[in-house]
Amino acid sequence: MGRLDRKIALVTGAGQGIGAAIARLFALEGATVIVSDRDEALGTRVADEIAANGGRAVFYALDVTDEAAWQRTMSWLQGEYGGLDILVNNAGVALVKSIEDTTLEQFRDVMRVNVEGVFLGIRHAIPAMTARDPSRSGTASIVNLSSVLGVQGIPDNIAYGTSKAAVRQLTKCAAIEFAERGYRIRVNAVLPAVTETPMVSREIEEWAEQGTFGTRDVAATRAAFSARVPLKRIATPEEIAYTVLFAASDESSFTTAAEYPVDGGRLAV
């Protein structure tokens, strides 16, 4: 407990799934959490739940594809909290379609959220993170959610896989640039495997619909995907959140530009 005491943390896409698990864990570890999402109902519910359990959390509406919204958010953070210690770029969307069936506009829609949203978060976090009181412990930390599907290819995944590969490069470029310029901002990436979230449940249904893994049965599709993981199961959001916690905390103070797979051994085979 207390691994994020006195930290101000912004988590995007925190209304459900991995983002919600991260927000809850961060609050449990002492952070003041800004629960951001474009869905006000979902985000408010998570923030209220955290507060009801004794944590510190507020909801702040944010569409990560809107640059003006990022500017307003960071300006508000500086005015309200004096800066930002942790940014988790978690918001993302998926698209399960073959290359032939993926339109240019659909491809761009995924890029807007998964790539441009991360770029805007990194870019506009700089003033809020460099404005931190120099006496505050440790460095500021940006954690980007990529995916093992940004490393390995699977069918019907061209837009999502490409976007998550781009997040890995955004992470490395930002981390090295910030280090070279003397910014006290570390940037790392976490690469989950398929995780039990509402988005993944929809993906599994869509994979089944398309017969991506040789079956159109939802349960069989889930089993087929789980079988590809050496640990033979799908991850929980909490398992991803604990790795994000380490990357965000001062415990990883000498780590930047790193990639943390949370994949049940998937990338090793």
For the record, the structure tokens of 182 come out as: 């003397």
For the record, the structure tokens of 260 come out as: 């943390």
Q: List all residues 6 or more positions away from 34 whose beta carbon is below 8 Å from its beta carbon.
A: 8, 9, 10, 11, 57, 58, 59, 60, 77
Active site residues: 160
For the record, the structure tokens of 165 come out as: 């590969």
Sheet bearing 185-192, strands edge to edge: 56-61, 32-37, 8-11, 86-89, 140-145, 185-192, 259-262
Neighbours of 214 (CB within 10 A): 8
Sign (positive or negative) of CA dihedral 44, 46, 48, 51 = negative
Of 212, 95, 70, 218, give the one whose Cα is nearest residue 154: 212
Gap between the Cα atoms of 183 and 129, Å rounded: 9
For the record, the structure tokens of 261 come out as: 């797979």
Give strand ranges (E) for the chain: 8-11, 32-37, 56-61, 86-89, 140-145, 185-192, 259-262
Contact 132, 85 (CB under 8 A): yes
